[in-house]
Amino acid sequence: MPQLVVLALVGAGLYAGYRWFSRTSKEVAAEFERARDELRRKAAGGVVEKDLGALEYDPASGVYRPVKRG
């Protein structure tokens, strides 16, 4: 009977280790993809994207500009 308890504990430990490894490898892969995409964007022209918020059309110049706040 004690062998079954030890076997169950070893099985639970292996399962927990597998889940930890799986989760960690997914996080590392996602970080790698994000870094690779960032390097590709920089190599493509160095354009840095900014969030300008809401834009409004300026008919005088014919371009969109950030909304003037207060």
pLDDT value at residue 36: 93
Query: In which band, very low, low, confident or very high, does the pLDDT at 70 lie, cut at 50, 70 and 90?
Result: low
Asked if 66 contacts 53 with a C-beta cutoff of 8 angstroms, the reply is: yes
pLDDT value at residue 57: 92
For 18-59, write each residue's pLDDT tens digit: 999 999 999 999 999 999 988 888 887 766 677 778 889 989
pLDDT value at residue 48: 66
Render the chain in DSSP notation, one character per residue.
Answer: -HHHHHHHHHHHHHHHHHHHHHHHHHHHHHHHHHHHHHHHHHHTT-PPP----SEEEETTTTEEEEPPP-
On the question of pLDDT at 9 being above 80, the answer is: yes
